[in-house]
Amino acid sequence: MEVIDQLAPERSKSQFDVDAMKIVWAGSQHAFDISDRMARLVASDPAFRKDYRVTLGRKELFKNTLRKAAHAWKRIIELRLTEEEASKLRTFVDEPAFTDLHWGMFVPAIKGQGTEEQQQKWLPLAYKMQIIGCYAQTELGHGSNVQGLETTATFDPATDEFVIHSPTLTSSKWWPGGLGKVSTHAVVYARLITDGKDYGVHGFIVQLRSLDDHSALPGITVGDIGMKFGNGAYNTMDNGVLHFDHVRIPREQMLMRVSQVTREGKFKQSDVPRQLLYGTMVYVRQTIVADASSALSRAVCIATRYSCVRRQFGSQDGGPETQVIDYKTQQSRLFPLLATAYAYRFVGEWLNWLYTDVTQRLQANDFSTLPEAHACTAGLKSLTTSFTADGIEECRKLCGGHGYLCSSGLPELFAVYVPACTYEGDNTVLLLQVARFLMKTVSQLGSDKKPVGTTSYMGRIEHLMQCRCDVQRAEDWSKPGVILEVFEARAARMNVACAQNVSKMPNPEEGFSELSSDLVEAAVAHCQLIVVSKFMEKLQQDIAGKGVKEQLQLLCSIYALSLVHKHQGDFLSTGTITAKQASLVNAQLRSFNAQLRPNAVALVDAFNYTDHYLGSVLGRYDGNVYPKLYEEAWKDPLNDSVVPDGYHEYIYPMLKQQLRTARL
Amino acid sequence: MEVIDQLAPERSKSQFDVDAMKIVWAGSQHAFDISDRMARLVASDPAFRKDYRVTLGRKELFKNTLRKAAHAWKRIIELRLTEEEASKLRTFVDEPAFTDLHWGMFVPAIKGQGTEEQQQKWLPLAYKMQIIGCYAQTELGHGSNVQGLETTATFDPATDEFVIHSPTLTSSKWWPGGLGKVSTHAVVYARLITDGKDYGVHGFIVQLRSLDDHSALPGITVGDIGMKFGNGAYNTMDNGVLHFDHVRIPREQMLMRVSQVTREGKFKQSDVPRQLLYGTMVYVRQTIVADASSALSRAVCIATRYSCVRRQFGSQDGGPETQVIDYKTQQSRLFPLLATAYAYRFVGEWLNWLYTDVTQRLQANDFSTLPEAHACTAGLKSLTTSFTADGIEECRKLCGGHGYLCSSGLPELFAVYVPACTYEGDNTVLLLQVARFLMKTVSQLGSDKKPVGTTSYMGRIEHLMQCRCDVQRAEDWSKPGVILEVFEARAARMNVACAQNVSKMPNPEEGFSELSSDLVEAAVAHCQLIVVSKFMEKLQQDIAGKGVKEQLQLLCSIYALSLVHKHQGDFLSTGTITAKQASLVNAQLRSFNAQLRPNAVALVDAFNYTDHYLGSVLGRYDGNVYPKLYEEAWKDPLNDSVVPDGYHEYIYPMLKQQLRTARL
Ligand SMILES: Cc1cc2nc3c(=O)[nH]c(=O)nc-3n(C[C@H](O)[C@H](O)[C@H](O)COP(=O)(O)OP(=O)(O)OC[C@H]3O[C@@H](n4cnc5c(N)ncnc54)[C@H](O)[C@@H]3O)c2cc1C
Ligand SMILES: Cc1cc2nc3c(=O)[nH]c(=O)nc-3n(C[C@H](O)[C@H](O)[C@H](O)COP(=O)(O)OP(=O)(O)OC[C@H]3O[C@@H](n4cnc5c(N)ncnc54)[C@H](O)[C@@H]3O)c2cc1C
Ligand SMILES: [Ca+2]
């Protein structure tokens, strides 16, 4: 079969400079270059093949991941890659692995919570991977409630050691990635007990395994917690269980940047403020938002390309059928997802800036913006991960039956992605934190304490409570100012209404708890406003390339208006828009979708994903879907023979009515 | 560890007769007895164990399914089970298998489309499983558009045979369950060509494999299409690919109940009306709705029990922490799902009645209610499967991190369930069919043609267009009449608005296509009304048992009001309710949720699911979650050894900086 670019007609329709858009998506020419180089490096190296992954049993799958991680590390050393390059390379290897936790949690925990001395001792070992570490916080019985952890670290002044112990079954560490089979060390969170007093949860560096033969050290029981969602997927990761039986570690292995225990067993708070720890949290959450945009954009890329290849119904006079992307229902399901991938990309970029800003302020002992930054990142983590998880599954459905095949890439993308809604803070628990912050913000309106950063719109509360949207024709919905104001008004009004309702309750705590569902919705409204406003701010920048800015404007409008439509209940019940205006939103969305249509494929090409990284027959760059689907099918182990294993024992006797006597 | 019923305190709180509720859920004492007996039969037979399923490779997994299917069939024969019992037994074996298609599609296709003679020839073979059949409609290139199928069946008068042929790659049959490895026969849909003319798609019985050695017959290429979503899950099914190279079958193997080809090759339409075929469709869709309620109720059962076991935060004075089910956000996410499981159970029951009604009418040559029955079942299939798929995933998230483990049962439940949104009609395509029917209904209002069945509310269109909801206090939302009317008014107004907007377009086809997203939303509104109204009708019946009816009333209200809240944009934009009334909905929901809370566990106990069928450590009847999670973990193959396979090749050299020289 001769291969041609089936999507060439789509590509020739596009109205903007795709190469320029690639730079915008990547963030800069520099970022693009690195990404592009690393993606090709991985894609062209047969050692990184991943297409057979779903047929492997757990042990083979895991061993295969160990191999890839080692190979990746070898290449990183051989090519003397920078940290930035190495991290990109790992991204494109596209397989959850112990290295994610080593680099993403273990190293940052030591950096953030270790003293200078501790950093000097441990970081070089970690940087060279002479030790491999994980992040052991969650227990069988406690995840969200970190303060409820049960593992104890009791100081023994006689030996100058901490005794790490798991007093109950539920205190077993449970979930840490990299723990089950690989890590030699862990940052373990445990209740610090000294002098008979419980000082709450602190971090400790604990060696788990022998560096000679990898056996578990005395007192340590460690293993894998078993299979997780999906095929391949997260089962490449050894999320682990860990039980301590009075394990002793030197006192110096408590992470002591913020609190210390002295040789005498005295607990001390250092003058380094606790808030410093928030910096790491902002950093980690920012990467999660960036990951959301990657995951969603991959799914959207697959669904968009396949929707152009797939034709169904509507053939006239024996001509080709309609491309399913031309159905308006397909567009109104797909294009908002495409727009959202871009929206999250830019809010992720902004969070990157926020992280730098927070870090600089912390260094200057300015903690004023921390609560706002904390709420904002918590809210965006929750918003983007929940939406992305649903969005990936919607993309799978948009591909009809074929989306259900592993070779579509979408099932695995979903299964790997969904835990992002849970780890680093359960999304509902996070939104409740945002809500608490917003209620405080509302209660302080009119006082000296002015709302800052992403809440500064609340400073215009009088206006926002009574302003009227003056959309009269559908086209009015293309004005950024109009859109921004309705998002601000909706968020402000919902949060003020919540605050009022809470205040009517016997006491605020009870009110908060009773009304928590409403509060969560108000928090979502606030977070959506942030994304919309950051997208609009991005559009204020100089953006090079023919037609690029126009496309981004279109995407921004589709993002915002699809939310107005989806949440029209909020906008209507707060009186922010009228029913008539709501119906004009639909009309304008239809027109925007039609404008987007010729650019759809080019807009997903701009993500610059290799076929290797996409890992999808449906999303192939060349659109050569059917022959490849057919080819892939035959690779399944079940097709090793025409007559399946088990035929003689189970099928033949059934057909021949000989089951009665069979032993099954 | 001593095992006690951790959930006993929950069970003692409940305010109704659980045993009586079990009968209501099952449908009758008879249905309950059978279900209960079959569930226990399966659960107590070690041959039906399923807990290790997720760790099996494809071949082992498939062979294991063959074994179970044979064992099930053996037991069915040994115990002389009735058809009803046998079908329940298969349900509780809980593993997608070729037998589903044999009994669920192959047999019904012959019954529905075969002549008396054909039925007499083929059904006895099928009933004894002397042949095994599947349903081969979908092709690589065509699923939704059945009329676009490419496989040909060309009549050859010389030999009195049809020549079945796959003229293109995309004409390969693709997806049929049971086809890949097991079926000896298939009902194949192909374009009937005789006398040089194409008479469109018809069904043919085609033998695929030798009954002696299972080899593929000449001209037939057949295999499995490869891995699908999830672990275990649907990979127990051999969805297949099938390519014909001029395969000859006797003329008598065309299914000839509705159309025939004569010995001379003349195409004839029999006097049996084509509509008869709709009967089967109503039947199949009714089973899909029933499956939706099973799948959702299983997920809800797991999430409800675990939410009572799981405690997080809120410990006062060292006492136990708060059960997460007591958080209002958890309730407002979970209880509507519980209510929906019941709602779908009853609408399924009603569809069962509808099927009987349609069948009787068909026999009496009364086709008047067919279009309505067709639209209604299409809509309910779409509504219930989409909601259930999302609902299962929401239940998984409600279980926090532990829901991501396969041992929670939820990942596999989801992965097995989601294709229901696609097979038997893509959900969006189905809703568009409903919309088309509704537009026709609206256009006929005022004419002689009165709306029937589920559309009869449209007969009161004048009233519904202008009626006002007179809810003034939250409690007013507990009146069924009030709720029913707002659902009717919303559905009526949305559909009338769509009809008006379509009529403003240059032509109706273009209008329909342009506005199809709005039309789909209006169709959903109509379908939700059906579910609400059937639940209310159920409550009109005599229902025995202390407190049972009260609980059902509560569930019905929660079902309906949670929809009003979720879709408040619809209700507000159509002026059906006011913003004030919308906020009273929330208040009333909070109060209903509080009323439901003490009954939550008993309401899921009423499903009468065995621990085997639930297949979930989190959902165990006795709530003994933590010790069992711990126990399960160690069974993973990765835990066969402390030091993982691959350590020496990949981890040791990494730690010892010896990778440079390693071959990976
Ligand atoms: C794939 C994966 C990888 C992980 N990796 C790591 C790791 O490397 N290291 C590590 O330490 N941990 C790890 N975790 C654990 C993870 O951090 C926790 O699972 C997460 O914090 C959620 O906590 P939980 O499981 O206790 O959820 P729970 O708190 O038990 O949540 C259950 C339900 O209760 C609700 N709920 C809980 N509290 C409240 C409240 N106050 N108000 C309202 N509702 C509430 C939640 O919304 C949820 O619906 C991982 C988890 C997963 C799934
Ligand atoms: C697990 C599983 C089991 C199956 N078992 C069988 C079986 O036993 N036998 C068998 O014959 N088949 C089987 N099928 C196939 C199944 O019936 C089809 O996949 C299904 O009918 C959907 O068709 P499609 O895949 O062509 O989707 P498509 O029609 O390609 O859908 C792709 C997208 O296009 C959209 N779309 C298509 N047409 C329109 C339109 N007119 N207007 C608006 N949007 C449109 C859809 O909404 C969807 O978003 C099975 C499928 C699965 C997943
Ligand atoms: Ca204005």
In 3D space, the residue among B463, B527, B36 whose CA is nearest the CA of residue B285 turns out to be: B527
Residues of chain A in contact with residue B141, where contact means CB-CB under 8 angstroms, are 626
Whether B211 is covered by a domain: the verdict is: yes
Measured between CB atoms, which of B228, B574, B660 is closest to A74? B660
The answer to whether A219 and A242 are in contact (CB under 8 A) is no
- Does some domain include residue A146? yes
B154 assigned binding-site residue: no
Q: How confident is the model at residue B274 (pLDDT cuts 50, 70, 90)?
A: confident
Which residue in the set B140, B145, B327 is minimally distant from A313, CB to CB?
B145
A426 in contact with ligand 1, CB cutoff 6 A: yes
- pLDDT tens digits, residue range B394-425? 999 999 999 999 999 999 999 999 999 999 99
B236-246: per-residue pLDDT in tens?
Answer: 999 999 999 99
- B229/B211 same-domain check: yes
Chain B: give the shortest CA distance to residue A395, in Å.
13
Give distance in angstroms: CA of A467 to centre of ligand 3: 6
What is the domain extent for residue A639?
A: 634-664
A436 within 8 A of A522, measured Cβ to Cβ:
no
Residue with tokens 């490895």: B181
Q: Which of B422, B424, B397, B425 is nearest to B411 (CA)?
A: B397
B509-536 pLDDT, tens per residue? 999 999 999 999 999 999 999 999 999 9
Number of separate domains in chain B: 2
Residues A406 and A509 in one domain: yes
Query: What's the Cα-to-Cα distance from A374 to each of A276, A278, A438, B270, rounded to whole Å?
Result: 12, 7, 12, 73
pLDDT confidence tier of residue B2, bands split at 50, 70 and 90:
low
Residues A536 and A591 reside in one and the same domain? yes
Q: Encoding tokens for residue A352?
A: 């990157």
Last residue of a domain, which of A605, A625, A642?
A605
The confidence band for B167, taking pLDDT boundaries of 50, 70 and 90, is very high
CB burial of residue A134 (10 Å; 0-12, 13-18, 19+)? buried
In a domain, B325, yes or no: yes
Tokens for A525, please give them: 């409204």
Strand B185-194 relative to strand B152-156: parallel, antiparallel, unpaired?
Answer: parallel
Instruction: Give domain status of residue A12, yes or no.
Output: no
Average pLDDT over residues B206-232: 97
Q: Which residues of chain A have pLDDT under 50?
A: 1
**pLDDT score for B1:** 47
Domain boundary among A254, A272, A290: A272
Cα(A466) to centroid(ligand 3), Å: 9
**Inter-chain Cβ pairs, chain A and chain B, closer than 8 A:** 413
Q: Which of A48, A321, A385, A517 to mutate to test the interface with B (most CBs of B within 10 A)?
A: A517
What gap in Å lies between CA B247 and CA B200, rounded to an integer? 19
Closest by CA position to A298, among listed A382, A417, A423: A417
pLDDT value of position A278: 80
Instruction: Measure CB to CB from residue B634 to each of A56, A223, A629 and give the nearest one.
Output: A223
Whether residue B379 is found in the same domain as residue B519 = yes
Q: What are phi and psi of B446, to 5 degrees?
A: 90, -20
Q: Work out the number of other CB atoms within 10 angstroms of the CB of residue B65.
A: 26
Q: B71 and A568: CB-CB below 8 Å?
A: no
Helix (H) / strand (E) containing B223: strand B220-224
Considering the domain boundaries, does residue B565 fall inside one?
yes
- Chain A residue numbers with beta carbons less than 8 Å from the beta carbon of B238 are 638, 644
Q: Is B441 left (phi over 0), alpha (psi -120 to 50) or beta?
A: alpha
Report the distance separating Cα A640 and Cα B482, nearest Å. 62
Q: Is the CB of B329 under 6 A from ligand 1?
A: yes
Say if residue A242 is in the same domain as residue A298. no
Which residue of B103, B132, B138, B183 sits with most ligand 2 atoms within 8 Å of its CB, as the best mutation to test the pocket? B138
Based on the number of CB atoms within 10 Å of its own CB, is A453 exposed (0-12), middle (13-18) or buried (19 or more)? middle
- Classify B540 as helix, strand or coil: helix
Residue of the nearest CA to atom 53 in ligand 1? B401
Cβ–ligand 2 contact at B428 (below 6 Å): yes
Whether B262 and B301 map to the same domain: the answer is: no
DSSP state of A614: H
Same domain, A590 and A638: no
- Quote the crossing angle between the two packed helices B516-540 and A328-363, to the nearest 10°: 90
| Cβ-proximal residues to A167 (8 Å cutoff; 6+ apart), any chain | A150, A151, A152
Residue B219 known to bind ligand:
no
Is B332 touching ligand 2 by the criterion CB < 6 Å?
A: no
Which chain A residue is nearest to residue B230, measuring alpha carbons? A230
pLDDT at B662: 74
Which pLDDT does position B300 carry in this prediction? 99
Structure tokens at A365: 């002992």
- Any atom of ligand 1 within 6 Å of the Cβ of A189: no
- Residue A509: burial class (beta carbons within 10 Å; 0-12, 13-18, 19+): exposed
Q: Do B306 and B255 have their domain in common? A: no
Q: Pocket of ligand 2, candidates A309, A330, A335, A407: which has the most ligand atoms within 8 Å of its Cβ, to mutate?
A: A330
Using CA atoms, how far apart are residues B223 and B180, in angstroms rounded to an integer? 4
Q: Give the residue from B324, B332, B329, B328 showing the smallest Cα distance to B305.
A: B324
Contacts of A577 by beta carbon, 8 Å cutoff, 6+ apart: A469, A471, A486, A564, A568, A571, A585
Assembly ipTM:
0.98
Residue B154 backbone phi and psi in degrees, to 5 = -100, 125
Specify whether the CB–CB gap between B324 and B403 falls below 8 A. no
Give residue B46's identity as a one-letter amino acid code: P
Cα separation values, A87 from A81, A90, B367, B415, Å: 9, 5, 66, 32
Give the helix/strand (H/E) hosting A133: strand A133-136
Q: What sign results for the dihedral spanned by CA atoms B93, B99, B101, B106?
A: negative
CB of A144 shorter than 6 A to ligand 1: yes
| Closest by CA position to B634, among listed A229, A138, A223 | A223
Residue nearest to atom 40 of ligand 2 (CA): B429
Strands (E), B253-395: 259-261, 267-269
| C-alpha B138: how far from chain center | 19
**What is the mean predicted confidence (pLDDT) over B562-581?**
98
For A155, phi and psi rounded to 5 degrees? -75, 135
Q: What is the CATH number of the domain that holds B563?
A: 1.20.140.10
We report the CATH number of the domain holding residue A122 as 2.40.110.10
Which pLDDT does position B660 carry in this prediction? 79
Domain termination site, one of A246, A272, A298: A272
Task: Choose the closest CB to A397 out of B140, B170, B421.
Answer: B421
Within-domain flag for A628: no
DSSP type of residue B167? -
Residues of B in contact with A569 (CB under 8 A): 565, 567-572, 582
Both structure tokens of A600: 């759809």
Q: Are residues B113 and B81 in contact, defined by beta-carbon separation less than 8 angstroms?
A: no
**In this structure, is residue A237 part of a structural domain?**
yes
pLDDT in the model for residue A170: 98
Whether the pLDDT of residue B272 is over 90: the answer is no
Give the integer Cα–Cα distance in Å for A478 and B340.
Answer: 39
Residues A290 and A251 in one domain: no
Question: What ligand has the least distance to the C-alpha of B237?
Answer: 2
Task: Classify residue A470: in a domain, yes or no.
Answer: yes
At B153, is the secondary structure helix, strand, or coil? Answer: strand
According to the model, what pLDDT value does residue A648 have?
97
A183 with A208: CB under 8 angstroms?
yes
Residues A263 and A305 in one domain: no
Residue with tokens 């994903």: A609
Of the listed A10, A393, A424, A521, which one is catalytic? A424
Task: Specify whether B246 is located in the same domain as B318.
Answer: no
CA–centroid distance, residue A482 to ligand 3 (Å): 7
And the tokens for B542?
């005599």
Q: How far apart are CA A97 and CA A83, in angstroms?
A: 17
Alpha-carbon span A338 to A595, nearest angstrom: 14
Amino acid (1-letter code) at residue A318: G
Interchain pair A655, B406: CB under 8 A: no
Give residue-wise pLDDT tens across range B601-627: 999 999 999 999 999 999 999 999 999
Check pocket membership of A43 for ligand 1, CB cut-off 6 A: no
Same-domain status, B518 and B582: yes
| B10 labelled catalytic | no
The single-letter DSSP state of residue A599 is G
Give the closest-approach CA distance of A355 to chain B in angstroms.
27
